[in-house]
Structure 1
């Protein structure tokens, strides 16, 4: 398939099987370029270039490997799906960990604190993907990603009358069936208990069926290791890798199913039909907006599942409080101060306790106002953030502008009403001033997801082809791609009936191509060398400007070193003059002079004390105590005599103790 449909061929020194093996090995084990290079004994440039070539070939298979949605029929016998007639499958979002630059970390930080991108996945009941759209920032809401998917030209197609199962994070609207809020939903919440109302019974059946998308994500991440940990590929390339893993997942499910429970017969041949013309005669859902008809459809479906109904009152509006203009201004100013303070603002959100701090500021300025961190301040932050997001979406839509003097939107009434059908939070902004948009841009603007890196399969193939062409221009002749005609010509050359003139003609094209590539390489090298030399000269000029500052700082740092060197020089002079100083002292023998010199030179503290003695008598007593430390503790009958050393007569007399029997004896 990668050869016939994807257009991937082997190279001069690398076969097609080896290229595919390196690609699959990288995805399955999440190995770096240097590891693949050592395993396959290839250069790093060859590994990188052929990885992107194989990635492009796999992405071209999306028309063959993506499943075509098929609705649940009336005669479906699967218990978990037979209640949802005309259902196409389930969809949800998942987070894939990524590495992003530090300036983009706030937009990619999820509500759990991890750095990831939001991936929308749609699958059928047979655990096969129908649609996938990666690339959105992790801070983006799932509903926003879904709205972007259905409005793209090559995005998600939902025919009228069909629908997908979604969780409570999405809007319950036409084409997307969500569970009831305020009722038990997840399977672990039920245990042995039975539903007591139609809403609870509907949620239980809904949870069992919608769980297929969670299982699908689990199989996908369990099989491909590159999706479990962040890689060092660019965000856009990482999104294409996610799409390639989805296509390979469908291929594996087709030929080697791990779940033998087949929900319907899927023996139709994928790849024979194209997406073009599939929905030409069917009206598609192009917006996400709640309608009374769809709400009634869900209620009727729940009543059909279980003929018991119960109205449950929600808790919204019980703690509602109106804010005046002064309180809102104080609230916005407090948020501005905290957003500029690193101790309160983190990547993507404020740190814990900021609501209580705002509560203190508001109650300090407006005593008795009764504003609490929860629910008043929390609800107000959500309200301002929703209004800012919907205004930003307006300005990205044609027909909307902003009046800086009146601080309100400028558009036609009909355009505004059409926009409100898709964005409920836009209600209440027509001809109403909104003076805090500039301040909210500072508070929430840097952390807002943009979806710039998101791509559909068609866009990914087009962009990857452009990037692959750029890579091939800078590639070496080591891995030139085989041409089908060239391979045929080589086979003909091996036959004896081939004329020699034709051989020369057919060998001429590759040589001309090589000469053209060499010319391009010379031009590229010349331009790059010129750019490098100009940047180097600019760098040297900047260094010359600051050379005086560097020299002054260097001289300042050398002052303590000079003082230390001067002290060391003085100490060396004292050691050199030590023997001459000791010889001036009367009464010291040669042995005492040499012994004192050795001890004083090895101990700087004692040397300093010696030179601090005021006269020769002090110095003599200091030397005697240094050489004979126990002289004051001798017995009264012990007398010291000077004795000539018989072994070394030149050393002079030694003072040795002699014990007398009587104090006055000889």
Structure 2
């Protein structure tokens, strides 16, 4: 096709375009590299398609696995993948029709030969597939099964090639017809008539061809449309990627906001706990200070009582000893009754009340200190007295 159009194709390119000359090991390594690239997000776009640079990634892999072969992304990788994809899509189309099936063991299409021949008349690219295995169908189905963009590009490329072949065939046919008409006729007159007819027909064919060319887009125009289509796909893919990034950033921002709110709530709870702790510390400090003050007061009271007792003893040295003893015991008895009554108000058990009374009987100073304390500290004082280290040995 390219030779008829006047293009010069190098042997390397012709080998890459040829289906028969492709080696099995190169195809296997090519398909393996394609699988690796299909799993690399750097070469994929949203929707399952490939970026334009994916064949360069395949070239880099093949350069490591097949050194010295000189395989390039263009034309070798692109051309060979085009041939393999054409086979895959042809098999895919046949499997969508009734009476066609796939032999998974032999990796080839299954159908009647007459049905296959009839199908190839309307679908020329399905030729040379009957009875010939295509071992890469399952792999291509995973990679290209949902790639509509790649399928549309393949069909557009086939249409461009077909239009180019039709134009070249028409031009070659017209030139051959002109040569035949020039050689017709045994005399010069007949040659003149033939030449006249030739010029008229050539002009008519040229006009018709001009009309045809004006009605149909040229391959260059189709190629430009294809390039614009590719650019549009890239822009759409870029926008889709940007949208995904924006969604990820938005989700991360939402998580940060939630964590910030949780941290703020935790800080408020910590502040409340700190305030309660400070209040408890202050209360404990106040209680300790009060106990110290009451201890000082108790000591002073003891000193005053001691000095008062000494003064009373000096001034009443002549009083009867029995009367003095009676006078001293009456206040202590009243103090004991008062202390027991105060203990009963504290909500203690009977055994605890009895144990506290026994301590007061042995240690009157404890009873005096208890009676001197304010109401709010009396229970703490009794509990501390009952839990003193020496107290358990005195319990019944």
**Range of TM-score over shorter length:** 0.3 to 0.5
TM-score by length of 2: 0.37
Instruction: Give the greater-gyration-radius structure (CA).
Output: 2
Relative to the length of structure 1, the TM-score reads 0.23
Whichever structure has more helix as a proportion of its residues is 2
**Higher-strand-fraction structure:** 1
- Kindly indicate whether structure 1 or structure 2 has the higher relative contact order, using CA contacts under 8 Å at least 6 residues apart: 1
